[in-house]
Chains A and B, each alone.
Chain A
Amino acid sequence: MTPGPRVSPAARRLLLAAGVFGPAVLLEVGLDRFVADSSVRQLVMTAAINVMIAASLNVINGMAGQFSIGHAGFVGLGAYAAAIVASHLHLALGGGDPTFAHSLVVVPAAVAAGAAVASLAGVLVGLPSLRLKGDYLAIVTLGFAEMFRLVLTSVPLDAKSGVAGAIAKLGGQIGYSGASGQGVPLYAGPLWVFGAASLIVVATWRIKFSGWGRALRALREDEIAASAVGVDPTRYKVTSFVIAAFGAGVAGALSAIMRDGIGIVQPDQFDFRLSFDAITMVILGGSGSITGAVVGALFVTFTVKLIELAQGLDAVRLFQSEHAWLDLNALRMVLYASVLIALMIRRPEGLFGEREPLFARKPRGAAPAGAA
Chain B
Amino acid sequence: MRTAHPTRPEPQVADGAPLLALRDVQVAYGGIHALKGVSLEVGKGEIVAMIGANGAGKTTTLKSIARLLPLAAGSITFAGQDLGRLDTESVVTAGISLVPEGRAIFPNLTVRENLEIGAYGHRDRRAMGETIDDVVQLFPRLGERMKQEGGTLSGGEQQMLAIGRALMARPSLLLLDEPSLGIAPRLVQDIFAAVGRIAESGTTILLVEQNTRLALAASSRAYVLRTGEIAKHGPSAELARDPEIRAAYLGG
Contact = CB atoms under 8 A, between A and B. Distances in A.
Interface string A354-372: 1000000001111111111
Given A228-B88, A371-B146, A218 B109 contact: yes
Q: Which of B89, B105, B117, B121 counts the most A-chain CB atoms under 10 A from its CB? A: B117
A232 interface: yes
25 contacts: A211-B123, A214-B109, A214-B113, A218-B113, A228-B88, A228-B92, A229-B92, A229-B117, A229-B168, A230-B88, A230-B91, A230-B93, A231-B89, A232-B87, A363-B112, A365-B112, A365-B125, A365-B128, A366-B125, A366-B128, A366-B129, A368-B132, A368-B136, A369-B133, A369-B137
Interface string B107-119: 1110011101110
Contacts of A372: 143-144, 146
Interface string A216-254: 011001101111111110000000000000000000000
Given A211-B123, A371-B143, A217 B109 contact: yes
A371 B123 CA distance: 22
The 9 closest A-B CB pairs, nearest first, are A366-B129, A370-B143, A230-B92, A225-B104, A221-B106, A230-B89, A230-B121, A370-B136, A228-B98
A368 B133 contact: yes
Contacts of A221: 105-109
A365 B132 contact: yes
A218 B123 CA distance: 17
B105 A366 contact: no
A370 B106 CA distance: 22
A225 B105 contact: yes
Contacts of B100: 224-225, 228
Q: Which of A215, A222, A229, A232 counts the most B-chain CB atoms under 10 A from its CB? A: A229
Contacts of B235: none
B120 A229 contact: yes
Contacts of B60: none
A26 B100 CA distance: 53
Main secondary structure of the interface of A (DSSP, over half): loop
A214 B116 CA distance: 9
Contact of A225 (B106, B113, B130, B136): B106
B146 A368 contact: yes
Nearest to A365: B129
A143 to B, nearest CB: 28
A243 to B, nearest CB: 19
A226 B166 CA distance: 11
Contact of A232 (B89, B125, B136): B89
- How many A residues are at the interface, by size bracket? 20 to 34
A372 B165 CA distance: 20
Given A225-B162, A229-B165, 10 more contacts: A211-B120, A217-B109, A222-B106, A226-B106, A365-B116, A365-B132, A366-B129, A366-B130, A368-B129, A371-B143
Contacts of B107: 221
A359 to B, nearest CB: 15
B42 interface: no
A364 B116 contact: yes
B126 interface: yes
Nearest to B98: A228
Nearest to B140: A370
Given A217-B108, A222-B106, A354-B108, A230 B144 contact: no
B68 interface: yes
Contacts of A229: 92, 97, 117-118, 120-121, 165-166, 168-169
Contacts of B68: 224, 227-228
Interface in B133-169: 133, 135-137, 140, 143-144, 146-147, 162, 165-166, 168-169
B83 interface: no
A334 to B, nearest CB: 32
B66 interface: yes
Contacts of A222: 104-106
A226 B137 CA distance: 24
B219 to A, nearest CB: 22
A370 B144 contact: yes
B109 to A, nearest CB: 6
A366 B88 contact: no
Contacts of B106: 217-218, 221-222, 225-226
Contact of B117 (A215, A363, A367, A369): A215
B123 to A, nearest CB: 7
A372 B145 CA distance: 9
A335 B179 CA distance: 49
Given A218-B109, A221-B106, A228-B97, A369 B166 contact: no
Contacts of B168: 229
Contacts of B130: 366
